[in-house]
């Protein structure tokens, strides 16, 4: 290509100048082309910092142009219906169809390989049941809660104003109101757009304490109390960690920080907003529970819980020990799976840290049983939830309700372009560019959120009924079947043995894993050494 460059720069320019005297449009275009090619190529050869430009002057830009559309080309022309990540075309199409209230059936059989390793499935019953309305709400509120809240099985997960546009937040909240579900604010605080339409709100208090911090960034009980006592705020959630980036604070890129967002969060505009990795009010399990009790009192007795991604199981058991020692229990625990999404996260954190949602929910469910507190604490599962089957598996593994974020964004019109961290979202969902955000019609898109919620729940109830159950609360882990590496089916939850009620605190018969995790956990600190050698269950039983 360097030889081509010199041919165009020499012979091409001479030919163009020779023909230029004819003053024909073609000769003028040729002259402009050769001159521009020469100037750009000379810069590439002599000054460019890119190897490709130095070796392939001018033409290298063609590669950059095509690369900039690689995601779109892959999505539209190459990938099949079941191979994309994080949501494949089949999953996205299902969300779009249910959001638009159009036909969501498929023809000619499944495209899934039903015999593939780790494939999940259910066994149906020849005696299907119908789910009654009286079991379609879940009550949140432990023994110390004076303002309990009845929630839907499916709700809108944490998404902040800042990460999402004002119109997107408005549409989600209006959709939540129409769907009779709650809308989690995300760690950016309860913005005016969360509160505008009157949908039920779960106010998330992140490590940055946005919405309840003073000018120095410390917790401000007065501003918290003023917001928490609003009737629209139904529950408060303390964020310890996030599935997409556990061990890392929330990130709002500088490009998305407007004057309004800076004022709401009490943050500067000249740099990325990176929240602390550790919530300053929750540095130990005991401190966390004392903060829970403090917020419950300041809020007037509303349900208070916390959100975390499970890592070392012993560290969660340390929180359980702190509950026993202090007598303070949260009203709910939100378990965020490692497969969760976010607008901005380091690749290694997103790809390699944390326990996936189903395994984490199963562990937390059993841990609370083991310390005799499961009946006092609700579990919210937060992970990939595109279909009613996704919802059902989380409930079966131990969750009481489920939060969905990215599929609610898809219902708004998100096309999974993965530009959330650039402020260049092509659909106006994850951007602070007003020219892009205005593409979202709040009234129309809120109806799509409501439709997706309604149709997914209707399918969920029908799926539960097809198993011969008349109440989703009767779902059990063993009802979910997983295809083993040996080609046979096995029940979910077999990685660790379930524990009996109070077995952890009464020194009952415990599996080695539970015993070691319990022995290494501490109520006085989160950190616990990861000393257990995790092995497949069949090898443990042979040992």
User: Which residues does 2 contact at the CB level (< 8 Å), separation at least 6?
Assistant: 45, 55, 56, 57
User: What separation in angstroms does the CA of 481 have from each of 118, 119, 397?
Assistant: 9, 8, 11
Residue-averaged pLDDT of the chain: 92
Mean per-residue pLDDT for 310-329? Answer: 97
Give which of 398, 403, 359 is closest to 382, Cα–Cα.
Answer: 403
Q: Which tens digit of pLDDT belongs to each residue from 25-62?
A: 888 888 889 999 999 999 999 999 999 999 999 999 99
CA 24-28-33 angle, to 5 degrees, is 145
Give which of 198, 101, 175 is closest to 409, Cα–Cα.
Answer: 175
- Considering only residues 276 and 18, tell me which one the structure prediction assigns the higher pLDDT: 276
Q: Which tens digit of pLDDT belongs to each residue from 354-411?
A: 999 999 999 999 999 999 999 999 999 999 999 999 999 999 999 999 999 999 999 9
Residues 236 and 328: their CA atoms lie apart, in Å, by 16
Residues 391 and 328: their CA atoms lie apart, in Å, by 30
Please say whether the beta carbons of 244 and 343 come within 8 A. no
Mean per-residue pLDDT for 498-515? Answer: 88
Q: Which tens digit of pLDDT belongs to each residue from 403-440?
A: 999 999 999 999 999 889 889 999 999 999 999 999 99
Mean per-residue pLDDT for 157-163? Answer: 93
- The CATH number corresponding to 151-459+475-490 among 3.90.1150.10, 2.160.10.10, 2.60.40.650, 3.20.20.70 equals 3.20.20.70
Q: Which tens digit of pLDDT belongs to each residue from 52-108?
A: 999 999 999 999 999 888 888 888 888 888 888 899 999 999 999 999 999 999 889
Does the reported pTM lie above 0.85? yes
Residues of the chain with CATH 3.20.20.70: 151-459+475-490
At 536, the pLDDT band (50, 70, 90 cuts) reads low
Mean per-residue pLDDT for 154-173? Answer: 96
Give which of 382, 213, 233 is closest to 296, Cα–Cα.
Answer: 233
CA 209-335-357 angle, to 5 degrees, is 135
């Amino acid at each position: 290509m360097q030889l081509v460059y010199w041919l165009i720069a020499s012979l091409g320019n001479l030919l163009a100048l020779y023909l230029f005297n004819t003053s024909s449009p073609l000769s003028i275009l040729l002259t402009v082309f050769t001159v521009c090619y020469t100037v750009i190529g000379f810069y590439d050869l002599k000054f460019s910092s890119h190897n490709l430009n130095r070796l392939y002057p001018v033409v290298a830009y063609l590669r950059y142009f095509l690369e900039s559309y690689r995601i779109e080309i892959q999505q539209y022309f190459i990938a099949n219906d079941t191979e994309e990540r994080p949501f494949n075309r089949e999953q996205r199409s299902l969300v779009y169809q249910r959001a638009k209230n159009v036909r969501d059936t498929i023809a000619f059989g499944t495209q899934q390989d039903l015999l593939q390793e780790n494939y999940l499935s259910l066994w149906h019953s020849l005696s299907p049941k119908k789910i009654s309305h009286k079991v379609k709400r879940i009550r949140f509120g432990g023994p110390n809660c004076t303002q309990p809240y009845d929630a839907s099985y499916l709700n809108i997960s944490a998404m902040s104003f800042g990460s999402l546009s004002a119109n997107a937040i408005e549409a989600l909240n209006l959709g939540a109101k129409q769907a009779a579900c709650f809308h989690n604010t995300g760690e950016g605080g309860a913005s005016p757009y969360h509160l505008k339409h009157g949908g039920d709100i779960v106010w998330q208090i992140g490590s940055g304490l946005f919405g309840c911090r003073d000018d120095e960034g410390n917790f401000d009980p007065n501003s918290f109390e003023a917001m928490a006592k609003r009737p629209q705020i139904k529950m408060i959630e303390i964020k310890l960690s996030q599935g997409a980036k556990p061990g890392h604070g929330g990130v709002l890129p500088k490009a998305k920080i407007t004057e309004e967002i800076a004022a709401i969060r009490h943050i500067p505009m000249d740099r990325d907003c990176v929240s602390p990795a550790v919530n300053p009010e929750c540095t130990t399990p005991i401190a966390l529970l004392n903060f829970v009790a403090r917020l419950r009192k300041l809020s007037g007795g509303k349900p208070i819980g916390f959100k975390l991604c499970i890592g070392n199981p012993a560290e969660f058991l340390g929180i359980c020990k702190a509950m026993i020692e202090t007598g303070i229990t949260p009203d709910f625990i939100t378990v965020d799976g490692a497969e969760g999404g976010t607008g901005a996260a380091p690749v290694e954190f997103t790809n390699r840290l944390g326990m996936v949602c189903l395994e984490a929910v199963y562990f937390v469910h059993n841990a609370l049983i083991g310390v005799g507190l499961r009946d006092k604490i609700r579990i919210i599962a937060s992970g990939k939830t595109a279909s009613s089957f996704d919802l059902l598996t989380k409930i079966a593994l131990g969750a009481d309700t489920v939060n969905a974020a990215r599929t609610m964004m898809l219902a708004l019109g998100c096309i999974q372009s993965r530009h959330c961290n650039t402020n260049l979202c092509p659909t106006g969902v994850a951007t602070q560019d007003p020219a892009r955000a205005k593409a979202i019609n709040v009234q129309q898109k809120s109806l799509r959120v409501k439709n997706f919620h309604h149709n997914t729940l209707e399918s969920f109830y029908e799926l539960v009924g097809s198993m011969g159950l008349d109440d989703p609360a009767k779902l059990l882990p063993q009802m979910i079947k997983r295809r083993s590496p040996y080609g046979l089916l096995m029940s979910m939850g077999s990685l660790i043995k379930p524990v009996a009620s109070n077995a952890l605190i009464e020194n009952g018969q415990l599996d080695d894993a539970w015993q070691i995790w319990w022995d290494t956990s501490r109520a006085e600190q989160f950190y616990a050494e990861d000393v257990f050698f995790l092995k497949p269950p069949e090898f443990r039983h042979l040992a």
